[in-house]
């Protein structure tokens, strides 16, 4: 008998699966609505996108329907003018009804067949009461009293409302979303009971900054900008302001990305956007973070859903940059000066060498190079600095402009060697990844290693002051 029951179950289960309703069907009914169309959209990191639209049936009813299920997150409906309401897609069936009155979509909303949205709208209505009280108070008391007394009181009440909601519905998406922006409570003491110093508490917060954010759940990327995107970028900004060493940032970025490994969308977004952030950074040592991220994730095939061409492009770029990091040996260059004498970068006289790639046809160069030369002149003798200045556009017309520019700006210091980039021992444009100009490095002649890069006049002067005081 049991075998027959099992056989029947095996036959019926595929039929049940085949007959199950897939995709989504969200009915939005706004009594009194005369819009011809209502749009549905979603958040994604710092952006918002439309994903569907529905036509009014003449009675204020709009049906959004699709064969593919919606991805979890916070969505919204709008008439693209003054009406707007958010709703939740998370952890339950995607066939439900939202019904409201046209004068206020959010406050008059009732929900059918979605527990997540039922608790969400209950919370939004309770929250709105406090916002209305704040608005009324702002018009009935003077601004000083409102800022000092009323506003803190209402904010405290709102915080209590949110904490109560989180405690009552800890697994709801809205609770998890609200908790995401809360800093973890930094302990006052070490596990052994000894007090933490201020520096140690700051370090602890860096390590635990995302403890309250469910980075392993893809819904978090489809939330308003202030929830996920701003939180991530604020963290990066904190590291920048603290001047964290690149090695330390690499470790923290790995920790952040690894938290999202179970959520492909979040994981991919973090890798792509953090890599791009450090690719664009003007801080001279932070290209090391870019190189690290590319070699750890792109080069090892750990970035899901990314075109092979993009992976190859990033790996090629990072490989070039890896040999140009501060602390690496500068690749040897041999070029000719204006009198056809050959000069070797690894055999320059002096304690330091300033390596420059520039052209008088470059607008930035025309501004930056004379200012850099002025700083160089100020420190060349006291710090024993030579200069290896390469013309990057060595065609006949530019050579004439180059020589005139040198004469006009009296760049005649014999230790500042002007070199024509037309002939060299290597393809210096490829070796030094010269895509824009000017590019300026400072090299220690003792071991030919890069001391600094991405220089302009003010940064160079600050570095030379430090070296002079050392």
Token pair recorded at residue 449: 């290693």
pLDDT of residue 124: 94
- Tell me: pLDDT of 149 over 90: no
Q: What pLDDT is recorded for position 315?
A: 97
If asked whether residues 372 and 455 sit together in one domain, one would say yes
Round to whole Å and give the CA distance between 64 and 55.
Answer: 9
Residues 293 and 341 in one domain: no
Mean pLDDT for the stretch of residues 301-320: 95
Query: Does residue 161 sit within a domain?
Result: no
Report, as an integer, the average pLDDT of 329-357. 97
Last residue of a domain, one of 291, 322, 353: 322
Torsion over CA: 445, 451, 456, 462 (sign): negative
pTM recorded for the entire structure: 0.88
And the tokens for 277?
């952030």
> Looking at the structure, do residues 278 and 304 belong to the same domain, yes or no?
yes
CA distances (Å), 136 to each of 104, 131, 133, 142, 154, in order? 18, 9, 5, 12, 12
Query: Does 344 share its domain with 446?
Result: yes
Joined tokens for residue 362 = 């470059």
Residue 38 pairs with which residues in a beta bridge?
Answer: 54
Residues in the chain: 470
Convert the pLDDT of each residue in 252-301 to its tens digit. Answer: 999 999 999 999 999 999 999 999 999 999 899 999 999 999 999 999 99
Domain boundary among 115, 139, 165: 115
Question: Residue 134: inside a domain, yes or no?
Answer: no
pLDDT classification of 21: cutoffs 50, 70, 90: low
The residue written with tokens 């501004």 in the block is: 367
| Residue 5, pLDDT above cutoff 90 | no
Determine the pLDDT at residue 49. 97
Is there a single domain that holds both residue 394 and residue 268?
no
Per-residue confidence (pLDDT) for residue 18, from 0 to 100: 40
Give the separation between CA 399 and CA 393, rounded to whole angstroms: 8
Q: Does residue 265 sit within a domain? A: yes
- In the predicted structure, residue 94 carries a pLDDT above the cut 70: yes
341 and 457 part of one domain: yes
Domain of residue 424, CATH code:
3.40.30.10
Q: What share of the chain is helix, strand, coil (3-state, %, to 5)?
A: 45, 20, 35
250 with 368, same domain: the answer is: no
Residue 180 forms part of a structural domain: no
Strand ranges, E, within 214-255: none
Question: With contact defined as beta carbons under 8 Å apart, do 345 and 447 qualify?
Answer: no
Residue 27 counted as domain residue: yes
Last residue of some domain: 272, 296, 322? 322
* Mean pLDDT, all residues of the chain: 93
- Identify which has the larger pLDDT, 150 or 166: 166
Q: Are residues 305 and 344 in the same domain?
A: no
- Residue 358 placed within a domain: yes
Q: Are residues 312 and 386 in the same domain?
A: no
Q: Of the candidates 408, 379, 404, which has an alpha carbon nearest to the alpha carbon of residue 391?
A: 404
67 conformational bin, left if phi > 0, alpha if psi -120 to 50, beta if neither: alpha
Cβ atoms of residues 438 and 365 within 8 Å: yes
Rg of the chain (C-alpha set): 31
| CATH number of the domain where residue 87 is located | 2.60.40.180
Q: Is 174 a member of any domain?
A: no
pLDDT at 82: 83
Domain assignment present for residue 299? The answer is yes
Interatomic CA distance for residues 119 and 122, integer angstroms: 5
Spatial strand order in the sheet of 110-112: 61-66, 24-31, 95-101, 110-112
> Domain check: are 295 and 268 in the same one?
yes
The count of structural domains within the chain is 3
Asked if residue 45 lies in contact with residue 230, where contact means CB atoms within 8 angstroms, the answer is no
Q: Percent of the chain scored above 90 by pLDDT? A: 85
Which SS3 state, helix, strand or coil, does residue 281 take?
Answer: coil
Note whether 347 and 434 are same-domain residues: yes
Sheet containing 84-89: which strands, arranged edge to edge? 47-55, 37-44, 73-78, 84-89
Contact 267, 304 (CB under 8 A): yes
Judge if 311 and 408 occupy the same domain.
Answer: no
Domain that holds residue 244: 230-322
């Amino acid at each position: 008998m049991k075998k027959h029951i099992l056989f029947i179950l095996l036959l019926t289960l595929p039929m049940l699966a085949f007959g199950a309703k897939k995709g989504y069907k969200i009915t939005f009914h706004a009594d009194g609505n005369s819009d011809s169309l209502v749009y549905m959209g979603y958040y994604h990191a710092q952006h918002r996108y439309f994903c569907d639209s529905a036509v009014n049936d003449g009675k204020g009813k709009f049906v959004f329907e699709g064969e593919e299920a919606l991805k979890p997150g916070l969505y919204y409906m709008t008439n693209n003018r003054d009406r707007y309401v958010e709703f939740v897609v998370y952890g339950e069936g995607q066939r439900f009804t939202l019904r409201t009155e046209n004068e206020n979509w959010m406050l008059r909303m009732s929900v059918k067949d979605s527990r997540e949205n039922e608790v969400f709208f209950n919370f939004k209505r309770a929250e709105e009461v406090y916002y209305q009280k704040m608005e009324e108070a702002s018009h009935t008391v003077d601004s000083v009293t409102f800022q000092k007394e009323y506003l803190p009181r209402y904010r405290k009440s709102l915080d209590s409302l949110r904490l109560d909601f989180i405690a009552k519905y800890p697994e709801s998406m809205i609770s998890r979303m609200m908790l995401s922006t809360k800093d973890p409570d930094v302990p006052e003491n070490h596990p052994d009971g000894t007090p933490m110093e201020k520096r140690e508490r700051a370090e602890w917060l860096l390590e635990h900054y995302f403890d309250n954010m469910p980075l392993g759940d893809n819904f978090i990327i489809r939330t308003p900008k202030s929830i996920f995107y701003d939180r991530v970028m604020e963290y990066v900004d904190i590291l920048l302001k603290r001047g964290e060493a690149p090695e330390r940032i690499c470790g923290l970025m790995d920790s952040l990305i690894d938290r999202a490994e179970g959520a492909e969308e979040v994981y991919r977004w973090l890798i792509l956007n953090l890599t791009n952030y450090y690719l664009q950074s003007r801080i001279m040592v932070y290209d090391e973070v870019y190189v690290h991220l590319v070699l750890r994730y792109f080069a090892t095939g750990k970035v899901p859903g990314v075109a092979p061409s993009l992976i190859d492009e990033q790996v090629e770029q990072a490989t070039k940059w890896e040999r140009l990091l501060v602390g690496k040996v500068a690749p040897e260059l041999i070029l000719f000066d204006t009198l056809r004498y050959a000069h070797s970068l690894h055999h320059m006289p002096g304690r330091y060498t300033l390596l420059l790639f520039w052209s008088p046809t470059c607008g930035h160069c025309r501004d930056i190079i004379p200012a850099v030369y002025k700083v160089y002149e100020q420190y060349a003798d006291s710090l024993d600095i030579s200069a290896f200045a390469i013309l990057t556009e060595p065609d006949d017309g530019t050579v004439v402009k180059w020589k005139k520019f040198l004469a006009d700006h009296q760049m005649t210091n014999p230790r500042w060697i002007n070199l024509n980039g037309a002939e060299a021992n290597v393809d210096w444009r490829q070796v030094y990844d010269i895509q824009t100009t000017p590019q300026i490095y400072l090299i220690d002649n003792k071991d030919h290693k890069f001391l600094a890069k991405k220089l302009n006049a003010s940064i160079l002067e600050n570095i030379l002051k430090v070296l002079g005081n050392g």
